[in-house]
Amino acid sequence: MVGIIMGSDSDLPIMRQAADVLKTFDIPCEVTIVSAHRTPERLFHYAKNAHQRGLKVIIAGAGGAAHLPGMVASLSPLPVIGVPIKSSNSIDGWDSVLSILQMPGGVPVATVALDGAKNAGILAAQIIGSHDAAVQEKVVVYKKKLEEEVAVKYRKLEAEGYEDYPR
């Protein structure tokens, strides 16, 4: 249901987070490598045919010049979530962030934080949940769990005071 693509296998430690999140929501995904610069024909084929293969969302991670998410968005009718990745050839990740964030009008890419594949997975689940009640309920439960985890922390902080709260 969700395609997770990346420019290189070196991106997998980050992009795996999206797949792991989708697994918790029972959303099937495929994970593969599609390089915008080294396999342009594969990129065109993947992006143009993804919706015909049943995908609903594409999460595309890339470092450096990070053209993958934008190129996919230019070719596919599906929502694309870009994950900028701080790579070995990156300028602290800013080149990747700006390459994905600064898309021209008409070619939107939802962009998450640098190395933010976990949030990309959650956003993909929310997109799918907007038309799938079972997935939406799982997102509601997930958000309630987040709320409960924070409540434990603020209650502890308020009870102990900030001076005695563990550092």
Per-residue DSSP letter, 86:
-
Work out how many domains the chain is built from and give that number: 2
Angle at 149 between CA 144 and CA 153, to 5 degrees: 140
Residue 86 and residue 161 in one domain: no
- Whole-structure pTM value: 0.94
Give yes or no: residues 30 and 95 share one domain.
yes
Do 90 and 167 reside in the same domain of the chain?
no
Question: CA 27 to CA 135: how far, in whole Å?
Answer: 8
Task: Say which residue the tokens 């993958």 belong to.
Answer: 68
Q: What is the CATH number of the domain that holds 21?
A: 3.40.50.1970
User: pLDDT tens, 11-28?
Assistant: 999 999 999 999 999 999
Same domain, 95 and 20: yes
Contact 96, 106 (CB under 8 A): no
Question: Is the separation of the CB atoms in 17 and 121 below 8 Å?
Answer: yes
Annotated binding site for substrate: 8, 11, 38
Longest dimension (CA), the chain: 60
Query: Both 29 and 66 in a single domain?
Result: yes
| Mean pLDDT, range 38-47, rounded to an integer | 97
Strand order in the sheet with 2-6: 29-33, 2-6, 57-63, 80-85, 110-111
Per-residue pLDDT, 90: 78
Distances in Å between the Cα of 33 and the Cα atoms of 5, 12, 76, 144, 161 are 5, 9, 17, 34, 49
pLDDT tens digits, one per residue of 130-154: 999 999 999 999 999 999 999 999 9
Question: Rounded CA gap, 102 and 70, in Å?
Answer: 9
At residue 65, does pLDDT exceed 90?
no
Domain residues for 142?
133-167
Residue 76: pLDDT band with limits 50, 70, 90: very high
Are residues 143 and 120 part of one domain?
Answer: no
Binding residues, as ranges, are 8, 11, 38
Domain match, 19 and 88 both = yes
